[in-house]
Amino acid sequence: MDTLRTQWNEGRDTLGVWLANPSTITAEMAARVGFDYVCIDNQHGVNDYQQTVAMAQAITLGGGTPIARVPWNEPGIIGKMLDGGIEGIIVPMVNSAAECEAVVRAGRYVPMGARSFGPVVAGMRRTNHYEWSTDGIALIPMIETVEAIANLDDILAVPGIDAIYVGPADLSITLGLPPGNNDGKAAFDDALATIVKGCQNAGIVPGIHATAALVERRLEQGFRMITVTSDMLAMRSSLVADLNTARGAKPADGKSGAMY
């Protein structure tokens, strides 16, 4: 599987899946479906570091590109994620250029950053990890507050970032709206348009958390990194649909049907 940066450099739009549940089986399955990236969520998901490393192995086995959202903008965990084989880092709540610079310091080697060298797992997969990481690792700060939008141009001007990722729930809350996607609300639509335009002007990939039903709209808006679904959402939706179907299905003669 190509890295995210390879796909973006070739002008491709990328569709991904989000994993909140700590399961290597789910991770491998998600990769084999064919998503352009598989993100392991360490902020709101219930994954920890060791589970993330194992899930990244499963994603690699399945032919996918493993990325992760870290719990916070903290250099220790960002470095460990990259050493453990993660190829893209999404960092929540980046609200200023200074906070974005901290992301780059943690995720890039000298001279651009200050990442400590020791890719114990990542180095097994690429013996040239040091050279490869310059163009291979994707650093993706999250824009999810009105403060971040006010500082958007300064954030996008920080060297070393590849994309930004919009968190619609937190962005909506700071706009005075309920958490989630609020398409049709002027404040929300204007915020997304501002973010996309800023990214396009800066040559940065705009990304966003979405749903399958919203993908066409988000592509039309200019987003190029779009999360289509999550493991928990997909599983719950399928379970609810199957249960509703089962409860609504009755044998023609009104008697219970046999289960084979």
CA distance 105 to 100: 9
Q: Is the dihedral of CA 39, 184, 155, 150 positive or negative?
A: negative
Which of helix, strand or coil describes residue 40? Answer: strand
190: which 2 tokens? 């204007």
Torsions phi, psi for 95 (to 5 deg): -110, -5
Catalytic residue among 12, 44, 236, 250: 44
**Residue pair 28/59 in contact by the 8 Å Cβ criterion:** yes
Q: Is 129 a catalytic residue?
A: no
Q: Which residues pair with 114 in a beta bridge?
A: none
Any alpha helices (H) in 139-207, and if so which ranges? 146-150, 152-156, 168-174, 186-202
Of 170, 178, 164, which is closest to residue 145 (Cα–Cα)?
170
Element (H, E) at 165: strand 163-166
Of 4, 21, 42, 49, which is closest to residue 140 (Cα–Cα)?
4
Distances (CA, A) of 147 to 78, 199, 210: 23, 16, 21
Catalytic positions are 44
